[in-house]
C-alpha cells in the first residue's frame, strides 16, 4: 500500500509533494495530463507564499530571470490601485513567474526529492474505508493510507469524497487571448485603439482588458454576459466577442493562446472527508486574481508536515483536523476580499465609477492601505493566543548563532520544528532533541524569550512558560522545560 497519493501535478500538488518528501513521507503524484502543462494561467505569486518559498530555500531558484521579485510599488485591488510609495514597512511581496515555469521548477525540485510523478494517470474512481483509500483509473489501481485532491476547480476527488462546493458562478464569462505583436510600445497610438487605455476598459455591453506581460505579447480579455462555448475558442469567436463589446474590431496579432472561463466564488464545505483531503483550487475558487496560488500553495505547506507526522507515527487525528480548522477560515476571508474586488470591477456606469473613485481616495490613507496590504499578504492568523506571534508566520529575524549570522529563513529549509531560544534558557528532552532543532541565538529586539516554530514556519508557541505543553500539543514525543 502507498503512503499517500496526490491527485494533480499543478502548482499545489507539486508543492505538497515537495513538502511531504522534505518531512519524510513518500508521496506519489498522479496527473491526467501526459506531460507538464504550457497553458499561460497565473503570472505571479503574491503574499506569504513568497516568504514561505524563501523559508524553503526555493526563492532564488524561482526568481532567477523573473522580471520582478520584491515589494511592488503598488497592487491592483480589482480596478482600484493601491499605491505603497512613501508608506514604510509594507510587507506584501510579489514574484512574477509564469505558471508553466513555476510548475517546471517545482517539478524539478520534487524530482530531486525523489517524488514519483505518474503522467497520463487519470483518476476515475475513489473509495475509502477505515484503513485505506482505493484509487482507480483506466489502467491503474492503488491503495493508499491518505489521498489529497489537488485536482483543480472541477475536482473529481471532491465530488467522489462527497464534499459540497457551494458558491456562485458569475453571469459574465471572460474570453482571454495572448497575441503576438510587433509593437512593444505605442500600441495605443493605432487609430483602432482610440479611446482605449491599458487595463480594463468599461463599455456599454461589457469590459475589455488590454495589457502586456512580456515584450511582444499583447493580452486581450473580453468580459460579457454570455454562456461560454463548449468547443475550444477560435479566432473568429474571439473577434466576434470583441466586436460585441467594443462595437468595432481591434488590431489583434497572431493568436498564441485563446481560452474562455467563467469566474466562480466557491469554498468546499469541508477540507477533509476521512482519509481524503483537498487543497488549492479543489478547495476554493476566488473570483478575482492574485490570491489563488498564495492560498493554495500555503494549504500545501500547512498540510504536508501534518500528514508526514501522522504517517511517521508522530501526529494525531486532531493534528490532521487542524488543517481545515486553520486553512478554511483564511480561504473564507480571501473569498470575501476577492468578491469585493470582483464587484468593484463589475459595477458599470457612473455609479460604479463614483464608488471606484471614492475608494481610491480612501485607499490613499495609510491605515486602510496597510489593512489591505496585510489582507492580501495573509488573510489572518491560525487560532487565537495571547502572544501576537502565535499562529503567524515567524518573522525573518537576523540572528547571531554559534554558526555566525543567520536568518530565520535558513533555519526552516529542512522543514523541521525549531525551538528558537532568544535568551529564555529553554531545555528539551533528550529524545525531542533528535527531531526538534534547538537553536540558541541573539537578535535585536527579540519578540519573545523563546519561539517554538512549526515545520511550516508558523509560530506554535512563544514566551517563557509552558513549552512542554506546547510541544505535547503539536508534536510527540513530549519535551520539558
Ligand X SMILES: Cc1cc2nc3c(=O)[nH]c(=O)nc-3n(C[C@H](O)[C@H](O)[C@H](O)COP(=O)(O)OP(=O)(O)OC[C@H]3O[C@@H](n4cnc5c(N)ncnc54)[C@H](O)[C@@H]3O)c2cc1C
Comparing CA positions, the residue from 188, 175, 193 lying closest to residue 244 is 175
Report residue 307: phi and psi, to 5°.
-65, -40
> Does 102 interact with ligand X (rule: CB under 6 A)?
no
Verify cis geometry, omega within 30 degrees of 0, for the bond prior to 477: yes
Please report whether residue 220 would count as binding ligand X according to CB under 6 A: no
Q: Does 17 bind ligand X (CB under 6 A)?
A: no
Q: Could you tell me if 178 and 219 are in contact, meaning their C-beta atoms sit under 8 angstroms apart?
A: yes
CB contact at 8 A, 261 and 232: no
Applying CB under 6 A, does 20 fall inside the site for ligand X?
no
**Contact with ligand X (CB under 6 A): which of 54, 281, 324, 345?**
281
Parallel, antiparallel, or unpaired for β 276-278 and 140-149?
parallel
| Residue of 4, 5, 6, 8 interacting with ligand X (CB under 6 A) | 8
Secondary structure E strands in 394-449: 398-401, 404-407, 418-421, 437-442
Residue 421 CB, shortest distance to ligand X, in Å, is 36
Q: From the list 21, 99, 302, 378, which residue makes contact with ligand X (rule: CB under 6 A)?
A: 99
Crossing angle between the packed helical segments 317-346 and 366-377, to the nearest 10 degrees: 130
Q: Min. distance of Cβ 407 from ligand X in angstroms?
A: 25
Kindly tell me which residue out of 2, 24, 26, 41 binds ligand X, with binding defined by CB under 6 A: 41
Closest by alpha carbon to 22, among 413, 296, 319? 413
Are the C-beta atoms of residues 387 and 463 closer than 8 Å to each other?
yes
Tell whether residue 244 is a contact of ligand X (CB under 6 A): no
- Residue 245 or 278 having the CB closest to ligand X: 278
Instruction: Decide: residue 214, CB within 10 A, 0-12 exposed, 13-18 middle, 19+ buried.
Output: middle
Q: Is 379 in the site for ligand X (CB under 6 A)?
A: no
Instruction: Give yes or no for residue 177 binding ligand X (CB under 6 A).
Output: no
CA–CA distance, 355 with 86 (Å, rounded to integer): 25
First to last CA, the chain: 40
3 vs 31, beta carbon nearer ligand X: 31
Q: Judged by CB under 6 A, does residue 293 bind ligand X?
A: yes
The minimum distance between CB 284 and ligand X, in angstroms, equals 9
Please tell me whether residue 261 binds ligand X under the rule CB under 6 A. Answer: yes
Show Cβ contacts of residue 391 under 8 Å, excluding neighbours closer than 6 positions: 381, 382, 383, 384, 385, 458, 459
Q: Which of residues 420-479 bind ligand X (CB under 6 A)?
A: none
CB of 201 or CB of 261, closer to ligand X? 261
Contacts with ligand X by CB under 6 A: the residue count is: 33
For ligand X, the closer CB: 98 or 450? 98
Q: Which grid coordinates are listed for 227?
A: 454562456
User: Measured from the CB of residue 285, what is the shortest distance to ligand X in angstroms?
Assistant: 8
Binding status of residue 267 toward ligand X by CB under 6 A: no
Q: Does 390 bind ligand X (CB under 6 A)?
A: no
Tell me the closest approach of the beta carbon of residue 89 to ligand X, in angstroms: 24
Task: Tell whether residue 315 is a contact of ligand X (CB under 6 A).
Answer: no
Q: If binding is defined by CB under 6 A, does position 66 make contact with ligand X?
A: no
Q: Quick one: which segment of 40-48, 319-327, 417-425, 451-459 binds ligand X (CB under 6 A)?
A: 40-48
How is residue 89 written as a grid cell?
514597512
Do residues 145 and 158 lie in contact, with contact meaning Cβ atoms separated by under 8 Å?
Answer: no
Does 123 participate in binding ligand X (rule CB under 6 A)?
Answer: yes
| Other Cβ atoms within 10 Å of 365 Cβ, number | 10
136 within 8 A of 179, measured Cβ to Cβ: no
Residue 9 is a binding residue for ligand X (CB under 6 A): yes
Q: Binding residues for ligand X, per CB under 6 A?
A: 7-13, 30-33, 41-45, 99, 122-123, 150-152, 156, 176, 261, 280-281, 289-290, 292-294, 296
Amino acid at each position: 500500500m502507498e503512503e499517500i497519493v496526490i491527485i494533480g501535478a499543478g502548482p499545489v500538488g507539486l508543492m505538497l509533494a515537495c513538502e511531504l518528501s522534505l518531512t519524510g513521507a513518500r508521496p506519489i503524484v498522479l496527473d491526467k495530463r501526459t506531460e507538464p502543462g504550457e497553458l499561460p494561467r497565473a503570472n505571479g505569486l503574491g503574499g506569504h507564499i513568497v516568504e514561505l518559498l524563501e523559508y524553503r530555500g526555493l526563492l532564488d531558484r524561482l526568481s532567477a530571470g523573473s522580471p520582478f521579485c520584491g515589494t511592488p510599488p503598488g497592487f491592483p485591488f480589482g480596478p482600484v490601485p493601491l499605491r505603497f510609495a512613501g508608506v514604510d514597512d509594507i510587507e506584501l511581496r510579489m514574484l512574477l513567474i509564469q505558471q508553466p515555469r513555476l510548475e517546471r521548477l517545482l517539478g524539478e525540485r520534487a524530482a530531486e526529492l525523489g517524488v514519483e510523478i505518474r503522467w497520463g494517470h487519470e483518476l476515475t474512481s475513489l473509495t475509502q474505508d477505515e484503513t485505506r483509500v482505493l484509487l482507480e483509473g483506466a489502467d491503474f489501481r492503488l491503495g493508499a493510507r491518505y489521498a489529497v485532491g489537488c485536482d483543480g476547480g472541477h475536482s473529481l476527488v471532491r465530488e467522489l469524497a462527497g464534499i459540497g462546493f457551494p458558491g456562485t458562478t458569475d453571469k459574465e464569462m471572460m474570453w482571454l487571448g495572448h497575441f503576438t505583436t510587433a509593437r512593444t510600445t505605442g500600441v495605443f497610438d493605432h487609430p483602432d485603439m482610440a479611446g482605449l487605455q491599458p487595463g480594463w476598459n468599461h463599455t456599454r455591453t461589457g469590459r475589455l482588458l488590454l495589457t502586456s506581460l512580456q515584450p511582444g505579447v499583447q493580452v486581450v480579455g473580453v468580459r460579457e454576459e454570455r454562456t461560454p462555448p463548449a468547443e475550444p475558442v477560435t479566432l473568429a469567436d474571439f473577434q466576434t466577442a470583441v466586436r460585441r463589446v467594443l462595437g468595432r474590431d481591434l488590431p489583434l496579432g497572431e493568436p498564441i493562446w485563446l481560452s474562455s472561463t467563467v469566474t466562480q466564488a466557491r469554498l468546499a464545505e469541508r477540507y477533509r472527508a476521512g482519509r481524503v483531503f483537498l487543497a488549492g483550487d479543489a478547495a476554493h475558487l476566488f473570483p478575482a486574481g492574485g490570491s489563488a496560488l498564495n492560498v493554495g500553495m500555503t494549504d500545501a505547506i500547512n498540510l504536508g508536515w501534518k500528514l508526514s507526522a501522522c504517517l511517521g507515527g508522530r501526529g494525531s487525528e486532531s493534528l490532521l483536523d487542524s488543517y481545515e480548522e486553520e486553512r478554511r477560515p483564511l480561504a473564507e476571508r480571501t473569498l470575501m476580499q476577492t468578491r469585493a474586488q470582483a464587484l468593484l470591477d463589475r459595477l458599470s456606469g457612473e455609479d460604479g465609477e463614483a464608488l471606484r473613485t471614492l475608494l481610491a481616495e480612501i485607499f490613499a490613507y495609510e491605515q486602510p492601505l496597510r489593512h489591505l496590504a496585510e489582507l492580501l499578504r495573509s488573510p489572518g492568523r491560525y487560532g487565537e493566543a495571547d502572544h501576537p506571534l502565535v499562529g503567524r508566520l515567524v518573522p525573518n529575524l537576523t540572528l547571531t548563532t554559534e554558526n555566525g549570522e543567520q536568518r530565520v529563513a535558513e533555519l526552516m529549509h529542512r522543514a523541521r520544528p525549531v525551538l528558537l531560544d532568544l535568551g529564555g534558557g529553554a531545555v528539551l528532552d533528550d529524545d525531542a532533541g533528535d527531531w526538534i532543532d534547538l537553536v540558541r541565538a541573539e537578535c535585536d529586539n527579540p519578540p519573545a524569550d523563546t519561539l517554538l516554530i512549526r515545520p511550516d514556519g508558523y509560530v506554535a508557541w512563544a514566551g517563557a512558560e509552558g513549552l512542554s505543553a506546547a510541544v505535547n500539543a503539536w508534536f510527540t514525543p513530549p519535551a520539558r522545560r
